[in-house]
């Protein structure tokens, strides 16, 4: 018997991570549930190609570079002579990952005029792609989310007749220029955007904002200073000064920010470029013609006070910013900044949720792959591959069921978002087949349903994915706890750290739970829209839970103490409401595309979350008996019908190269 050494003895075969668009059973169900067959057939080749590309070794090398070489200020913010110098340095890996996202249209695809036939399904197609990209993007989707939100906001003001009528020709030109940058696929032309709300007085609560905007147009008869000389874009007439406590897109080319314009009035929304043209700038390293003042760009009244040191998202440059005479343009009306920024929040919140789900989906993908190559002792010298171990597979099957429930809520919210945007756009009706999802709401209920789901889904899902992501990490044992930068495709600890922020930014769990209650205070809107959803779902035990919740929301005879108690219970009520919506979606999913695996997942999920074995059970819908509720069913739930494909004894998968 030979002793082992560093290079001899047993060395674990690496798991093989396959294209998740095909291997993720839940993602496949979601795509078939929400997209018309002809449209799914049309977009599948491109999504499949992206699914392969995001798992390439080049992508993982860029991730490692972005994580290891974190952003910094050159010279700590000063030059060799002590003068302030704001030069943010990001690594090549970060830049390359951003460029990959731009070129693959992770934002632009929703605004692509060459694909009008996608109609209300554009958001679903966009986020199917984002779901695959999130775990490989090293947080570059954070500024991309704000890029998407800013594009949608500017699009509304440029294309909605009553809003566009309020814009001057100069404002139209400035907004259109920014919109064109935000929706481009050309990495050399595309912009990302900041979204500056958070100050020291509060995050989502902007009522105490200390940033002040003053209308101060440039003197008449003098040339207006430029944001960009090449594009001849002028700076805005508003001077903005203040301090933004948490900016997660410090390397962006523009921002949407909130500021107060006068006492006693609510906050207002502004667009501002990050840089401005300064004809007096001199490059100390340029000695050719024009060396005495060729001009250049500088930050537009922005000083990076310091970069944040964070638990996760370390590749993302996050900063405290001081603003002094930052020049910008008012968006909408003074005092209506919350109304304007809500357009962005609807977008950034779904991006945050899809990010959390993308991390979880990748984690499950790694756990599934690891189970195919790892063995465990089961006593008396016997060893089994983990995919044949009943306890391990039951754990992964239960994890998969929780994941699919969250996927149903995530993509139903995206479906409603797409319907809402399409209804409010001026584009022609879609030429794709009618929606196939049976929970497509009547037109009057679309916006109220989105108003409620916008806060509800983010509050529940981003909070729920954190322990589930940890379970994926745990399924790898000690390997999962390591920072596997040497095998980046297995680095679940990085994904877990980054997943934790989902429950914090764009509104914490409690902030969004409170917002959900506010949305439900309007019985003609949120409550009735949800009631339509539950009634259409046709599951009696779900209705019983809903009726109890509805009574709490609508009882107008409450005393002040009871109202305060309702607020204190907002998190629990909101999360229970999210479970009601998910339960309805489970029933519909199993009814539309029945099968042993989905029925098994549904029954287990319903029982765990207090809805009975199937969500019905009282004659309104029949309980479907699931045969073989053991290892065989667990394998089918995790790997799809028939269990894992191409596995030979010993747990290896032939014919597939490892990363």
Residue 475 is part of a domain; what is its CATH number?
Answer: 1.20.140.10
- Same domain? For 450 and 325 the reply is no
The reply to whether 386 and 326 lie within a common domain is: no
Answer whether residue 311 is part of any domain: yes
pLDDT in tens, 567-606: 888 999 999 999 999 999 999 999 999 999 999 999 999 9
pLDDT on residue 624: 47
Q: pTM, whole model, 2 decimals? A: 0.92
Classify residue 394 as exposed, middle or buried by CB count within 10 Å of its CB (0-12, 13-18, 19+). middle
| DSSP for 232-267, written as a single string | TEEPPSEEEEEEEEEES-TT-SEEEEEEB-STTS--
On whether both 483 and 620 belong to a single domain, the answer is yes
Rounded distance between C-alpha atoms, residue 507 and residue 195, angstroms = 13
Pair 523, 620 in one domain? yes
What CATH number corresponds to the domain at position 273? 2.40.110.20
> Are both 318 and 404 inside the same structural domain?
no
Torsional sign, CA 321, 323, 327, 332: positive
Domain range holding 594?
345-427+437-639
- CA 173, 176, 177, 179: dihedral to nearest 10 degrees? 160
490: in domain:
yes
Give the pLDDT score at 622: 43
What is d(CA 392, CA 370) in angstroms, rounded to the nearest whole number?
11
Are the beta carbons of 70 and 92 closer than 8 angstroms?
A: no
pLDDT by 10-residue block (mean), the chain, 659 residues: 91 93 97 93 96 97 96 84 85 97 96 76 96 98 97 96 96 98 97 93 82 95 92 97 92 96 94 94 52 68 93 94 97 95 94 98 97 90 92 97 98 95 64 68 91 94 97 95 91 96 93 90 77 81 85 64 76 94 94 93 94 50 57 95 73 40
Q: Rounded distance, CA 416 to CA 340, Å?
A: 20
pLDDT at residue 238, as a whole number: 98
pLDDT digits (tens, 9 = 90+) for 337-376: 999 999 999 999 999 999 999 999 999 999 999 999 999 8
Residue 140 lies in a domain: no
Q: Which residues contact 435 (CB under 8 A, 6 or more apart)?
A: 36, 120, 419
pLDDT value at residue 115: 61
Which residue in 278, 271, 195, 264 sits closest to 240, CA to CA?
A: 271
Residues 382 and 318 in one domain: no
The verdict on 327 and 386 lying in the same domain is: no
Asked if residue 143 belongs to a domain, the reply is no
* Other Cβ atoms closer than 10 A to 359: 26
C-alpha 614/C-alpha 574 separation (Å) is 22
Report yes or no on 567 lying in a domain. yes
Question: Does some domain include residue 511?
Answer: yes
Q: Is residue 95 part of a domain?
A: no
φ/ψ (deg, to 5) at 212: -120, 135
**549 and 481 in a common domain:** yes
* Alpha-carbon distance values, 506 to 128, 139, 246, 603 (Å): 21, 15, 12, 33
The reported pLDDT for the residue numbered 544 is 84
Query: Is 453 in the same domain as 490?
Result: yes
- Answer for the pair 535, 543: CB distance below 8 angstroms, yes or no: yes
Same domain, 567 and 590: yes
13 in any annotated domain:
no
Q: Which pLDDT score is estimated for 283?
A: 62
Considering only CA atoms, which of 9, 31, 10 is closest in space to residue 20? 31
Q: At what angle do helices 570-592 and 528-537 cross, to 10 degrees?
A: 40
How many structural domains are present in the chain?
A: 2
Residue 82: what pLDDT?
83
Rounded-to-integer distance, Cα 74 and Cα 90, Å: 10
Distances (CA, A) of 432 to 121, 232, 429, 435, 496: 9, 41, 9, 9, 39
Please say which residue of 308, 335, 362 terminates a domain: 335
How far, in Å, CA of 369 to CA of 371, rounded?
Answer: 5
CA 78 to chain centre: 35
Q: Long-range contacts for 162-167 (Cβ within 8 Å, ≥24 apart)? A: 163/332
Contacts of residue 6, defined as CB under 8 A and 6 or more positions apart, other chains included, come to none
Closest CA to 273 of 199, 182, 166: 182
pLDDT, position 504: 93
**Do 473 and 513 sit in the same domain of this protein?**
yes
Q: Can you give the pLDDT at residue 414?
A: 97
352 and 314 within one domain: no
């Amino acid at each position: 018997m030979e002793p082992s050494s560093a290079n001899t003895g047993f060395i674990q075969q690496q798991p093989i991570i396959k294209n998740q668009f095909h291997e993720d059973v839940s993602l496949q169900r979601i795509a078939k549930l929400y997209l018309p067959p002809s449209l799914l057939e049309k977009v599948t080749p491109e999504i499949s190609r992206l699914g392969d590309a995001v798992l390439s070794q080049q992508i993982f090398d860029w991730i490692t570079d972005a994580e290891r070489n974190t952003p910094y200020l050159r010279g700590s913010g000063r030059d060799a002579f002590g003068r302030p110098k704001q030069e943010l340095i990001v690594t090549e890996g970060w830049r390359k990952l951003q460029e990959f996202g731009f070129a693959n249209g992770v934002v632009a695809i929703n605004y692509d005029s060459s694909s009008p036939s996608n109609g209300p399904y554009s958001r679903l197609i966009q986020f199917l792609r984002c779901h695959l990209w999130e775990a490989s993007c090293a947080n570059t989707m954070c500024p991309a989310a704000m890029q998407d939100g800013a594009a949608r906001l500017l699009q509304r003001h440029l294309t909605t007749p009553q809003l566009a009528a309020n814009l001057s020709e100069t404002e139209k030109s400035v907004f259109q220029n920014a919109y064109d940058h935000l929706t481009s696929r050309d990495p050399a032309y595309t912009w990302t955007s900041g979204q500056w709300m958070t100050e020291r007085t509060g995050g989502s609560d902007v009522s105490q904002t200390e940033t002040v905007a003053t209308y101060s147009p440039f003197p008449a008869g003098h040339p207006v200073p430029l944001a960009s000389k090449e594009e001849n874009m002028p700076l805005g007439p508003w001077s903005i000064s203040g301090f933004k406590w948490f900016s997660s897109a410090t390397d962006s080319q523009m921002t949407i920010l909130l500021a107060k314009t006068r006492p006693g009035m609510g906050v207002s929304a502004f667009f501002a470029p990050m840089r401005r043209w300064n004809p007096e700038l001199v490059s100390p390293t340029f000695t050719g013609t024009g060396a005495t003042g060729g001009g250049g760009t500088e930050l537009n009244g922005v000083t990076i006070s310091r970069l944040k040191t964070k638990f996760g998202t370390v590749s993302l440059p996050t900063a405290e910013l001081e603003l002094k005479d930052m020049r910008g343009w008012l968006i909408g009306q003074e005092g209506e900044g919350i109304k304007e920024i809500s357009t962005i929040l609807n977008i950034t919140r779904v991006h945050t949720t899809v990010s959390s789900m993308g991390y979880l989906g990748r984690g499950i993908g790694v756990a599934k792959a690891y189970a195919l190559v790892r063995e465990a002792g089961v006593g008396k010298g016997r060893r089994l591959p983990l995919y044949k171990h009943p306890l391990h597979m039951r754990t992964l099957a239960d994890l998969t069921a929780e994941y699919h429930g969250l996927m149903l809520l995530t993509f139903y919210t995206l479906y409603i978002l797409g319907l809402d945007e399409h209804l409010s756009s001026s584009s022609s009706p879609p030429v794709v087949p009618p929606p196939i999802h049976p929970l497509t709401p009547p037109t009057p209920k679309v916006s109220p349903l989105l108003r409620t789901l916008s806060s509800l889904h983010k509050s529940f899902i981003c909070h729920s994915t954190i322990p589930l992501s940890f379970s994926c990490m745990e399924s790898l044992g000690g390997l999962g706890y390591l920072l596997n930068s040497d095998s980046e495709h297995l680095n679940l600890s990085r994904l877990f750290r980054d997943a934790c922020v989902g429950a914090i930014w764009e509104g914490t769990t409690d902030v969004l739970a409170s917002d959900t209650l506010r949305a439900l205070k309007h019985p003609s809107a949120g409550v009735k829209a949800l009631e339509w959803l539950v009634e259409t779902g046709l599951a009696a035990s779900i209705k019983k839970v809903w009726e109890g919740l509805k009574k709490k929301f609508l009882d107008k005879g409450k005393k002040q103490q009871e109202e305060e108690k309702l607020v204190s219970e907002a998190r629990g009520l909101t999360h229970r409401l999210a479970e009601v919506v998910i339960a309805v979606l489970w029933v519909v999913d199993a009814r539309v595309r029945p099968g042993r695996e989905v029925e098994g997942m549904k029954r287990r999920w319903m029982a765990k979350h207090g809805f009975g074995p199937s969500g019905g059970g009282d004659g309104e819908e029949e309980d479907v008996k699931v045969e073989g509720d053991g290892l065989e069913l667990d394998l089918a739930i995790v790997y799809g019908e028939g269990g894992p494909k191409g596995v030979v004894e010993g747990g290896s998968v032939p014919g597939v190269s490892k990363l």
